[in-house]
Amino acid sequence: MYINFIGLVKCNIKINMRRIIAVFTAAFLFQVTPSFARSDKMLENEIAALKEGQKAIQKDLQEIKNILRSQPQGNGKPHVPQNIVLSVEGGELQGNKNTKLTLIEYTDFQCPFCGKYVHDTYPIIKQDFINTGKLKYVRKDFPLESIHPYAFKAAEASHCAQEQTKGAEMHKHLFDNQGQLSPANLLEYAKVLALDVDDFQKCMDSGKYALQIRKNITEAQSAGVTGTPSFFLGTSDISGKIKVVRSFTGAQPFSSFKAAIDEVLNNR
């Protein structure tokens, strides 16, 4: 389900501004009320309330900053990056591994824009370009841990499911249930997908894929990624290195991807 993220931010801002106004109103009344009208206990309670209010304001402002920071800033037009080289290592590979033209996606299982892309755009890219051998696709993890507390473990769950050849099924199931990604939910999904639950749980408990996910995050950040989904289109060499020629941010429509892919294919 698509979520109006900007609307969510505006809603949060309105709610948090009410809290901010309330705290400063309390502070003003605290200043103008004569001291003889308040007992020592009342003063202590008012001071404590003001301190708690200030902490709440700081927390709310940080949450708003995190939400705004995670919003993709794409305008539908691909960017032409300079000197960005990425790798297929550590990603989920789809399509013909020998195909040179490669699209890398950095994703977050709790990201609403990623969910929109997965449901609306990716199936057409898969049908028209991946299945036809024109494009190699590499999916990598970029969990935004500061605002999506379950995204990292969900990424691990996808890798652990792939050990039992059910990575694609788990990927779809996680995006179909973005609002329910707790550890208990992940274990339940392993059962739904008929995985060996004991092996799945051992894989999750070991944290064996955490280092690779961290490497993907570092790689993405070095390429300028700040939000999800983010995409890089380029050509790969025999070592698996990809020289990026186009980049996208946000849940772009299929037409944006098609135009960029066709342009690169026609100029080869």
Cβ-contact 6, 22 below 8 angstroms: no
In terms of domains, do 101 and 61 share one? no
In terms of domains, do 91 and 214 share one? yes
In terms of domains, do 33 and 97 share one? no
**Which CATH number fits the domain that encloses residue 155?**
3.40.30.10
Q: What percent of the chain has a predicted confidence (pLDDT) above 90?
A: 65
> Is 28 within the bounds of a domain?
yes
Tens-digit pLDDT profile for residues 57-91: 765 555 554 444 444 444 556 666 778 999 999 99
Residues 6 or more apart whose CB falls under 8 angstroms from that of 220 comprise 106, 140, 142, 230
Q: How far apart are CA 209 and CA 195, in angstroms?
A: 18
Q: How far apart are CA 68 and CA 6, in angstroms?
A: 8
pTM score over 0.85: no
In terms of domains, do 99 and 211 share one? yes
149: which 2 tokens?
Answer: 């507390």
139, pLDDT greater than 70: yes
174, pLDDT greater than 90: yes
CA distances from 95 to 2, 109, 218, 260 (A): 27, 22, 25, 18
Tens-digit pLDDT profile for residues 121-130: 999 999 999 9
Range of the structural domain that residue 58 is part of: 5-70
